[in-house]
């Protein structure tokens, strides 16, 4: 349920609403917008009479029932797009995140060469995994803290903010020391302790959709982060498992349009994991932006054939560079830019 306050309602009127919620063991989450202040009611059991009770309060315009199980991430609570600020880069509300870089940080030369190349081509953030979730325990699992240090060096050289994955709650503090955006991977979308720890960090979080997660489950995972007081969330559609075997995953662009309707949070697309094939990345990148996504995250490697992970879905520097002018044209057509 949300309580919409009258324009010009006073602090003490808002406080009276919050106090009544506390009496019911509920919490009120304030969103102060330009036109109105909204109190989102969160808690396990909302008494059926509460709406009537609150509608009589001074300063209350109306109460609205929210039927979805997620609250704070919903457009009903906050009608306007959330813009997540990452350093000088804005994401959402027409501002695109163009994140590029290798699947894994492999060496100083590799990450720096790619950082320079994607920066030159027009990317505004650098990706690279230092802690890699791998299906096989025998695959390359990342350089760990040394990888984070290399990312920080690449940022110092290029100015690009860093997006990198954190896999456990215990590593949030370490990764937050180096990163600008904490990536929570598909396999960890329902690691609720990790979501809460990332929420408490206050850092921007890139939340990937789980391999078999419904849109509702994905938004509920985002709710875990925002409920910790951290609204700096960028959702990322990265393909889901279906019966189709021609591609690694099935990139669900429906989800972009659905999420934009239901939530105020920005949503970007990962066409690399979404397709699993480098030659499908350019068309799906363009389709993602055309479908209303607030950006893309693309795997780029100086020599994909020799990549330690996900080489088959990585663009080389030249292919990434050639994609950018087309991406600018599509962005312009749908009224967004970076
Ligand atoms: C990645 O970004 O390299 C990655 C492991 O992604 P996902 O969690 O979507 O599989
Ligand atoms: Mn990858």
- The 10s digit of each residue's pLDDT in 99-116 is 999 999 999 999 999 999
What is the percent of the chain where pLDDT is above 90? 95
Q: Does the pLDDT of residue 317 top 90, yes or no?
A: yes
> How far is residue 197's CA from residue 184's CA, in Å, rounded to a whole number?
11
Ligand 1 contact via 133 beta carbon (within 6 Å): yes
Atom of ligand 1 nearest to the CA of 187: 8
Give the residue-averaged pLDDT of 221-249.
98
Ligand 2 centroid – CA 309 distance (Å)? 6
Is the beta carbon of 101 within 6 A of some atom in ligand 1? no
Burial of 254 from C-beta contacts in 10 A (0-12 / 13-18 / 19+): exposed
pLDDT at residue 125 tops 90: yes
Tell me the average pLDDT of the chain.
97
Q: Report the SS3 class of residue 125.
A: strand
- Please check whether residue 202 is in contact with residue 229, taking contact to mean a CB–CB distance below 8 angstroms: yes
Local confidence band at 63 (pLDDT 50, 70, 90 cut-offs): very high
Q: What is the mean pLDDT of residues 320-337?
A: 98
What pLDDT does residue 209 have?
98
Residue to substitute in 111, 163, 218, 273 for testing ligand 1 pocket (most ligand atoms within 8 angstroms of CB): 273
Whether 36 has a pLDDT exceeding 90, the answer reads: no
The per-residue pLDDT for range 167-203, each reduced to its tens digit, is 999 999 999 999 999 999 999 999 999 999 999 999 9
Say if ligand 1 is within 6 A of residue 208 CB.
Answer: yes
The predicted structure's pLDDT at residue 44? 83
Mean pLDDT of 37-47: 90
Question: If you take atom 4 of ligand 1, which residue's CA is the nearest one?
Answer: 185
Question: Are the C-beta atoms of residues 75 and 261 closer than 8 Å to each other?
Answer: yes
Atom 6, ligand 1: which residue's CA is nearest? 185
pTM (predicted TM-score)? 0.95
Confidence at residue 200, expressed as pLDDT on a 0 to 100 scale: 98
Query: What's the pLDDT score for residue 35?
Result: 78
pLDDT surpassing 90 at residue 272? yes
Q: Say if residue 9's pLDDT is above 90.
A: yes
Q: What is the pLDDT of residue 4?
A: 95
CA dist., res. 252 & res. 287, Å (int) = 11
Ligand nearest to the CA of 185: 1
Nearest Cα residue to atom 2 of ligand 1: 103
The whole-angstrom separation of Cα 24 and Cα 14 is: 16
Q: Is the CB of 103 under 6 A from ligand 1?
A: yes
Beta bridge mates, 216: none
Query: Does 165 score more than 90 pLDDT?
Result: yes
For residues 86 and 294, is the Cβ–Cβ distance under 8 A?
Answer: no
Please say if the pLDDT value at position 127 is more than 90.
Answer: yes
Using a 6 Å cutoff on CB, does residue 308 contact ligand 1? no
Q: How many CB atoms lie within 10 A of CB 302?
A: 20
**What pLDDT is attached to residue 215?**
98
pLDDT at residue 45 in the model: 86
Q: Which ligand is nearest to the CA of 129?
A: 1
The DSSP symbol for 5 reads E
118: pLDDT confidence band, cut at 50, 70 and 90?
very high
Is the confidence at residue 33, as pLDDT, over 90? no
Largest CA distance in the chain: 68
In this prediction, residue 90 carries a pLDDT of 98
- Position 290 scores a pLDDT of 98
| pLDDT bracket for residue 32 (50, 70, 90) | confident
Query: What pLDDT, in 10s, does the model give residues 253-262?
Result: 999 999 999 9
Report, as an integer, the average pLDDT of 5-28: 95
CA-nearest residue for atom 1, ligand 1, is: 103
Residue 50: both structure tokens together: 């509460």
**How far apart are alpha carbons 64 and 175 in whole angstroms?**
40
Mean pLDDT throughout 26-46? 89
In the three-class reduction of DSSP (H, G, I as helix; E, B as strand; rest coil), residue 275 is classed as helix
For residue 209, the CA-to-ligand 1 centroid distance in Å is 10
Could you identify the atom of ligand 1 that is nearest to the CA of residue 310? 3
β-strand pairing of 97-101 with 37-42: unpaired
Half-sphere exposure in the Cβ direction for 260 (13 Å, CA): 18
Q: Is the CB of 185 under 6 A from ligand 1?
A: yes
Contact (CB, 8 A) for 66 and 76: yes
Q: Which atom of ligand 1 is nearest to the CA of 133?
A: 5
Quickly state the pLDDT bin for 67 (edges 50, 70, 90).
Answer: confident
CB of 307 closer than 8 Å to CB of 101: no
Closest CA to 114 of 334, 316, 324: 316
Band of pLDDT at residue 300, cut at 50, 70 and 90: very high
85: left (phi over 0), alpha (psi -120 to 50) or beta: beta
- In terms of average pLDDT, the best of 22-31, 58-67, 232-241 is 232-241
């Amino acid at each position: 349920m949300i309580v919409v306050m009258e324009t010009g309602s006073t602090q003490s009127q808002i406080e009276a609403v919050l106090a009544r919620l506390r009496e019911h063991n509920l919490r009120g989450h304030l969103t102060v917008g330009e036109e109105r202040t909204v109190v989102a009611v969160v808690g396990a059991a909302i008494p059926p009479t509460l709406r009537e009770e609150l509608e009589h309060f001074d300063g209350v315009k109306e109460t609205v029932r929210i039927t979805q199980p997620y609250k704070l991430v919903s457009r009903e609570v906050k009608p306007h797009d959330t813009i997540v600020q990452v350093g000088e880069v804005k994401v959402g509300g027409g501002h695109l995140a163009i994140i590029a870089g290798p699947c894994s940080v492999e060496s100083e030369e590799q990450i720096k060469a790619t950082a320079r190349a994607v920066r030159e081509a027009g990317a505004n953030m650098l990706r690279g995994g230092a802690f890699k979730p791998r299906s096989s325990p025998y695959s390359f699992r990342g350089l760990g803290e040394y990888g984070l240090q290399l990312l920080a060096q690449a940022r110092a050289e290029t100015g690009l903010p860093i997006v990198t994955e954190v896999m456990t709650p215990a590593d949030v503090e370490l990764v937050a020391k180096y990163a600008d955006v904490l990536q929570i991977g598909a396999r960890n979308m329902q690691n609720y302790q990790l979501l809460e720890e990332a929420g408490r960090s206050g850092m921007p979080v890139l939340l990937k959709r789980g391999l078999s997660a419904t849109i509702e489950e994905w938004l509920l995972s985002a709710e875990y982060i925002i409920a910790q007081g951290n609204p700096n969330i960028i959702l990322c559609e990265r393909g889901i498992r279906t019966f189709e075997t021609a591609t690694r995953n099935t990139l669900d662009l429906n989800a972009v349009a659905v999420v934009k309707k239901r939530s105020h949070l920005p949503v970007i697309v990962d066409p690399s994991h979404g397709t699993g094939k480098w030659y499908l990345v350019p068309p799906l990148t363009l389709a993602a932006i055309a479908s209303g996504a607030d950006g893309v995250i693309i795997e780029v490697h100086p020599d994909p054939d020799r990549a330690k992970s996900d080489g088959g879905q990585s663009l080389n520097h030249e292919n990434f560079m050639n994609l950018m002018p087309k991406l600018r044209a599509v962005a312009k057509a749908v009224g967004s830019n970076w």
